[in-house]
Amino acid sequence: MISFENTEIAFRSKSNKDLKRAYWLFKIIASPSIVRFGKIATNIALKLRLPIKSIVKATIFRQFCGGETISDCNSTISKLGEFKVGTILDYSVEGKTSDEDFDETVNIIIQTLLRGKEDKNIPFGVFKVTGIGRFDLIQKASSENTDLSTKEKEEISIIVNRIDRICKAAYDANVPVFIDAEESWIQDAIDKWAFEMMLKYNRESAIVFNTIQMYRHDRLVYLKSCLSMAKDNNVKYGVKLVRGAYMEKERLRASQIGYPSPIQPDKAASDRDYNLALEFIVSNAEHFALCAGTHNEHSSLYLTELLQKAGISANDNRFYGAQLLGMSDHISYNLSEAGYNVAKYVPFGPVREVMPYLLRRADENTSVAGQTGRELSLIMKELKRRKLS
């Protein structure tokens, strides 16, 4: 029986110094007022180009990121691999708008896939479509009521070509790649392009994964339609299943523009649909591959129970769990110890350019009920155990 309370297993890769640093970091993040002030101060410092890089790099960057480059991540990849936890290299640079930057991002993502080809500790790659194409163009491609100019059609075809370059590199390297989900008003185009890539590259196995966010009330129905698409076209449908990351933004936009919110009425509804999605995928395992991206203990445990009931082995490579680096080690390491496939998202990129990601992590830990308190209590439990031992 897996116990997520086993902190000896959860933190066995961490030194006492690592644990104490994480303790104080989560202690700070636990205060919404400190996080708000920190965000403002950090943004001001970045705009004024004040020398804060060393402070950021030694604290929040060290906790949640692998390094500034792929090679910087080598020690993290190796350390995770020692405990049979995989690495998903996530180039977390945001806010780029030029074609030169988009093409450079494509090249870096392809490099992560080539790195994965050489290293069994890297089971997946990942990218966001907004990291390789302009948001406004993706939004127009998602709208049925928008007339596109010839130039816009050409620009959108360039975005699709970039997606195809990445997916082909994933296929050639035999390293599956996740296409991350984004805001609901651009998701239709992403869903369409993801399936177009599956038609090309997912004939034998799931190489391309689409991401489905269960904080949307319509996604369980969408998931069921994915099964029909997979069957009708004889492809394996790769799913990265998450709860979601844009809830506040989604609700605000819906209220401002005046359309029904796509967000579930409450967390219980998201949790219910997430677990129903797990049931649906496992019961149709011959047509799906799954990465369950979650920090929820119940869902993580529930997936192991579903696999056992279905007679699917713990190390079946069609099924993975994933958590973010620096969070929920009690889930990741205990799943790995029990023989299940699990990986950590390992963000990387220049400190200054990864700051939007890091500030979101701080926000998430502050806003998700119980998340920071859970991390703190587990760290304290392990520090106490080590002192007693």
Q: pLDDT (tens digit, 9 = 90+) per residue, 112-147?
A: 999 999 999 999 999 999 999 999 999 999 998 889
Whole-angstrom distance, CA of residue 263 vs CA of residue 284: 26
The CATH code of domain 66-348 reads: 3.20.20.220
Question: What is the rounded average pLDDT for all residues in the chain?
Answer: 92
State how far Cα 144 lies from the chain centre. Answer: 28
Contacts of 22 (CB under 8 A, 6+ apart): 14, 63, 326, 375, 379
Of the candidates 190, 163, 175, 183, the residue with the CA atom closest to the CA atom of residue 87: 175
pLDDT tier, 40 (very low <50, low <70, confident <90, very high otherwise): low
Of the candidates 25, 88, 68, the residue with the CA atom closest to the CA atom of residue 348: 68
Look at residue 44 in the predicted model and tell me its pLDDT: 63
Contacts of 51 (CB under 8 A, 6+ apart): none
Q: Once rounded to an integer, what is the mean pLDDT over residues 353-372? A: 68
Whole-angstrom distance, CA of residue 33 vs CA of residue 16: 28
C-alpha pair distances (Å), 88 with each of 63, 179, 317, 366: 16, 13, 15, 24
Query: Over 70: is that where the pLDDT of 41 sits?
Result: no
Look at residue 201 in the predicted model and tell me its pLDDT: 98
State how far Cα 342 lies from the chain centre. Answer: 13
Whole-angstrom distance, CA of residue 174 vs CA of residue 237: 16
Query: Over 70: is that where the pLDDT of 8 sits?
Result: yes
Q: To the nearest whole percent, how much of the chain has pLDDT over 90?
A: 79
Q: What is the DSSP letter of 266?
A: S
Look at residue 361 in the predicted model and tell me its pLDDT: 64
Look at residue 325 in the predicted model and tell me its pLDDT: 95
Domain locations along the chain: 1-65+354-389, 66-348
Tell me the β-bridge partners of 324: 345
Whole-angstrom distance, CA of residue 15 vs CA of residue 3: 22
Q: Once rounded to an integer, what is the mean pLDDT over residues 92-119? A: 95
C-alpha pair distances (Å), 240 with each of 3, 38, 198, 207, 322: 24, 32, 14, 12, 9
Of the candidates 124, 239, 107, 121, the residue with the CA atom closest to the CA atom of residue 166: 107
Coil, strand or helix: which one is 245? coil
pLDDT tier, 359 (very low <50, low <70, confident <90, very high otherwise): confident
Query: Over 90: is that where the pLDDT of 27 sits?
Result: no
Mind giving me the DSSP string for 293-324? E---HHHHHHHHHHHHHTT--TT-TTEEEEEE
Q: Once rounded to an integer, what is the mean pLDDT over residues 148-172? A: 97
**Which of 31-40, 77-86, 328-337 has the lowest average pLDDT?**
31-40
How many CB atoms sit inside 10 A of residue 118's CB?
10
Q: Phi and psi of 371, rounded to 5°?
A: -60, -55
Query: Tens of pLDDT along 234-280?
Result: 999 999 999 987 788 899 999 999 999 999 999 999 999 999 999 99
Q: Once rounded to an integer, what is the mean pLDDT over residues 153-178? A: 98
Query: Tens of pLDDT along 326-357?
Result: 999 999 999 999 999 999 999 999 988 888 77
Query: Tens of pLDDT along 265-319?
Result: 999 999 999 999 999 999 999 999 999 999 999 999 999 999 999 999 999 999 9
Q: Phi and psi of 372, rounded to 5°?
A: -70, -40
pLDDT tier, 47 (very low <50, low <70, confident <90, very high otherwise): low
Contacts of 298 (CB under 8 A, 6+ apart): 271, 275
How many CB atoms sit inside 10 A of residue 171's CB?
21
Look at residue 368 in the predicted model and tell me its pLDDT: 53
